[in-house]
Amino acid sequence: MKTQIKSILFQLIALVCAFLGIEAVFYFHQAALPSALTIVRILLFEISFSAILISLAQLKYTRIMQFILVLIPFLFAIYATAQMGFITFLGNYVSFKTAGQAGKITEYVIEFIRFLKPTYYLTFIFPVAYAIFHFRQKTKLIFNWKITLITVLVSLITYFGAITTIQMAPQTGMNLMNIYKNPTFIETALREFGTQRFVLRDLLTLAFPPEEDVPVIEIITPDETPEPLEPEIPEVDYTRNIDDTSWINAMKTEENETIRQLDEYFMNQKISDKNEMTGYFEGKNLIYIMIEAFDYIAIDPVLTPTLYKMQSEGWDFNNYYTPKYSCTTGESEFISLTSLVPSSAVCTPNSYSKNAFYHSILTLFKNKDYYVSAYHNWEDEFYDRRELYQNMGVEDYWNIEQMNFKIIQGWQSDDELMKEALPHFIDKDKFMSLIVTSSMHFPYDMDSTLGNRYRKEIDEVHPEYSTAIKRYLSKCMELDKGLNTLLTELEKAEKLNDTVIVMFADHHPLKTSLETLTEYTSQFDRSYALNEDKTPLIIYNAASESKDIDTVASTFDLVPTVANLFNLNYDPRLYVGKDIFSNDENTVIFTNGDWISTYGWFKASEGIFNNFDDSNPAPQNWIDSQNKRVSNAFNISLMVYKTDYFRKRDWITNPVIKE
């Protein structure tokens, strides 16, 4: 019996070491090391899972069971390696719940494997070592109910020990136990529980979805909200008054608890005042362009002169961020249209495409009698745009299947997109046109028509640039050509001065390392804080003077900012973002619970707030208040999706203004 106990102990230690080795390689490739409490937690989870596996092997120690016991560490090594690849290839980790979106990019599988760094494969050293150890063991695992009972007890004790460490974790604005029960915040779950425990919880909640309680919403009182950093006393009364009588009456008779909570929450939010920029562009046309992989690297005075002109002569927002969510392009677009936080569990624009979003920027312009249309130079392969657009007020939508494109290898021409889109809206009295580009889409490490089209010109200007960056710039030059077409045709139609062009990114160039982004970004330190996701935002109107805007802002702030500039009829309380020109605090919210605001940035997984200026640190009550706001933003947005709230409260998206 002693020999059997010794054999089981060695097997347990070897298996735990194999799993810990995989975790060590995974953490080695992350930006931050785990805390001591996290290390203890992961160790306990690994012991618990390994003890269960050993217990099952004891019950029937056949060749098949031996094979399974050896196979499992290899499966976890594959999983950890894939996750390391996803974060660098796509900019996000992936769960089985969101894998449906990843499954739509199967054409990149070979490219994805080629992209994996050699050091990622270090994860396989430990399963191989365990397999060698296992098959060299001479003592078989024979069932003995006493030994098996002890092994099961070890598993239970270490499991509950790990759960205790979750309960001991500091409160950082995100409830770690809730994330464990339903690991929708993928990055935080991976970091805090390890890859092994995350995948087990992910599979369990996929097979048995947890019952979703009504999320906790914390109404923040004025006492908890500090004064603005630089309070301004306006000389003009800019108060925005909204009549809530119908809303209050509807809430009193509402039987659905979640909808009633949403009513209460929205009505308790501050109504942002008007300001000196209210109606600055009132009555003008709008072209709203989400540019694929738009980055500061794309703006070059020689290679992309139109972009450079529009940035230097337009409004340049130099402190603007594009947070990446689970399906990056689709959800950045969704945020830019609704100013809601995407669900972390699914690809939001696909899962909720049937919902009504009457508060969207598209509907707001439609309510002002604009002709609202949308254009994209790809098919609806990844996102259910047609149905989503219809539920947001789009009258007509053309993708590549409806337009007369000259199909080329790889992603299609943005110049062709502008030429095809313009005739549909340029002759309208008032138009709001959404344009989603694709020319600058990765890959940049492979040949393509657009990636090679302008290589000669780039070699003359920047011969020292890497091949991948040259391909990216070549694609940018195709966009620049399209923007020149756009400006030229608007001028011919005598509508250039009466048209506003808003250009923003869906994300930075994917498959491009932070080191590369830092090397080729001269405007700021890309490696500082959360600057990896800092991207350009340009608002251009030929009749307006140039501006540099330093306010911290993000995709969430686009809808209320544009709505205010055009003096649309909207309720600021319905949006997560804020008007960039208001005195309200703008908060950039990331999918893992990180956030950036005026004072600094907060790392949710570490529970640490970092001040931009240590001589002017953020008050603790302000940090606590911001964490509540971020938590509310996630919960409120999910409740809106689950209840199809704006379909039931359609009138509040066209509010009654009290003079």
DSSP track, 365-401: HHHTT-EEEEEESS-SSSS-HHHHHHTTT-SEEE-TT
For the record, the structure tokens of 227 come out as 């004064």
pLDDT at 117: 83
pLDDT band at 336 (very low <50, low <70, confident <90, very high): very high
Task: Return the number of other C-beta atoms located less than 10 Å from residue 467's C-beta.
Answer: 12
Contacts of 162 (CB under 8 A, 6+ apart): 41, 42, 44, 45, 48, 197
Lowest mean per-residue pLDDT among 33-37, 85-89, 226-230, 259-263: 226-230
pLDDT at 609: 93
Q: Where in the chain is the domain with CATH 3.40.720.10?
A: 242-276+284-657
Give the alpha-carbon dihedral of 435, 439, 442, 443, to 10 degrees: 160
pLDDT at 222: 43
pLDDT at 514: 87
pLDDT at 1: 59
For 363-415, how does the pLDDT look when each residue is reduced to its tens digit (9 = 90+)?
999 999 999 999 999 998 888 899 999 999 999 999 999 998 888 988 999 99
pLDDT band at 565 (very low <50, low <70, confident <90, very high): very high
* pLDDT of 114 higher than 80: no
d(CA 598, CA 227) in angstroms, rounded, equals 12
What average pLDDT does range 57-84 have in this prediction?
86
For 272-300, how does the pLDDT look when each residue is reduced to its tens digit (9 = 90+)?
999 999 999 999 999 999 999 999 999 99
d(CA 257, CA 645) in angstroms, rounded, equals 12
Q: Which of 126, 143, 123 is nearest to 83 (CA)?
A: 123
pLDDT at 107: 56
Contacts of 112 (CB under 8 A, 6+ apart): 85, 89
pLDDT at 66: 79
Average pLDDT, the chain: 89
Residue with tokens 């969430």: 556
Residue with tokens 């009466």: 498
Give the architecture-level CATH label for domain 242-276+284-657. Answer: 3-Layer(aba) Sandwich (3.40)
In the beta sheet, which residues pair with residue 396?
A: 373
pLDDT at 223: 42
For 130-157, how does the pLDDT look when each residue is reduced to its tens digit (9 = 90+)?
999 888 876 566 667 787 888 899 999 9
For 454-490, how does the pLDDT look when each residue is reduced to its tens digit (9 = 90+)?
999 999 999 999 999 999 999 999 999 999 999 999 9
Task: Return the number of other C-beta atoms located less than 10 Å from residue 275's C-beta.
Answer: 18
* pLDDT of 350 higher than 50: yes
d(CA 123, CA 126) in angstroms, rounded, equals 6
Looking from the CA of 346 toward its CB, the CA atoms found within 13 Å total 13
Contacts of 482 (CB under 8 A, 6+ apart): 413, 414, 415, 416, 417, 418, 419, 437, 439
pLDDT at 645: 97
For 504-531, how does the pLDDT look when each residue is reduced to its tens digit (9 = 90+)?
999 999 888 889 999 999 999 999 999 9
pLDDT band at 86 (very low <50, low <70, confident <90, very high): confident
Contacts of 71 (CB under 8 A, 6+ apart): none
| Residue bearing the bigger pLDDT, 326 or 385 | 385
pLDDT band at 89 (very low <50, low <70, confident <90, very high): confident
